[in-house]
Homo-oligomer: A and B are copies of this chain.
């Protein structure tokens, strides 16, 4: 019942632990262990179904071959996909993933980061909910390699792999404008310090400015995380009520759009006739929905590939801390479908 350890194999083979370790790590030849002995060791390991204790190994080697992934909610399809991509790229390099959800809660994130450090993760991929880089900087003091993904601090010198959210917001809004809409709302989340959402909003505002459309404060809706559905309902009703009369809406992420569509369905609104919509994030639903939802897609695979690459690179070169940080900003991709139609001006 007891698990088999190196010593057990050594004992059984009547050789030292050292030798067993060398052989099983494939360095038997390099250390000049005779073929016969090696064979004997392999046989015993096989026979007793020996599996090295990676915890002991990790302790000795000072690494865990584990990386931590911190996101707001792993059940959010965007992060679920990120998790999957990161899992694949990380496992190719022999790393495992500990996944943590923060629920956009700063204290929870701090506790999780602390715990991940205690677990000696070799590195971290973080979609942080922090509003300032202060807490993140403490990671640097602790000398834990990390890469910010999805959200970042432009003026802080850290690795990051993000997308150009400003551009995404701008293009989404511009798309609506070019179709003839002028009364365009934007619905986003609070806490409003989340950098990605801030950038999307800035893109929205700038696009309107660029086309000389007056910014209407009433068209800017902030939905609190945690009670999305109810607030979206309220806001949609107001946006469509007579003095406002919104024609189109730019939705800041898949969560909001989900709530929006649910609302649309219950209010029996027709998209795009009664309200046109563009969403950030591209989830399956948007291809399946009728009408199909125009969306700003994030290059998820690329985000995963790059962030893992940068992180592993950082881990390898941990000793050399004066390197350039990787600052990677990927382009989002506006996928035009049917949810914006074409606005025919009421004459």
B-binding residues in A (CB < 8 A): 1, 3, 49, 51-56, 58-59, 64, 66, 73-77, 80-81, 83-84, 87-88, 91, 96-101, 114-115, 117-120, 142-143, 258, 261-262, 265, 284-285, 287-290, 292
Contacts and interface: CB of A to CB of B under 8 A. Distances in A.
B64 A75 contact: no
A83 B87 contact: no
Contact of A55 (B58, B88, B100): B58
4 closest cross-chain pairs (CB), A and B: A80-B80, A75-B84, A261-B288, A285-B285
Given A265-B290, A287-B262, A77 B74 contact: no
A35 to B, nearest CB: 27
Given A53-B120, A91-B100, 7 more contacts: A51-B118, A53-B118, A55-B58, A59-B59, A83-B99, A87-B100, A97-B99
A81 B80 CA distance: 9
Contacts of A288: 258, 261-262, 265, 285, 289
Copies of this chain held together in the complex: 2
A174 to B, nearest CB: 26
Contacts of A59: 53, 55-56, 59
Nearest to A111: B91
Contact of A119 (B55, B91, B143): B55
A292 B266 CA distance: 10
**Most chain B CB atoms below 10 A, which of A81, A288, A289, A290:** A288
15 contacts: A3-B142, A51-B117, A54-B118, A55-B64, A75-B81, A75-B84, A87-B99, A88-B101, A96-B119, A97-B98, A98-B98, A258-B284, A262-B288, A265-B287, A265-B292
A9 to B, nearest CB: 15
Contacts of A100: 87, 91, 96
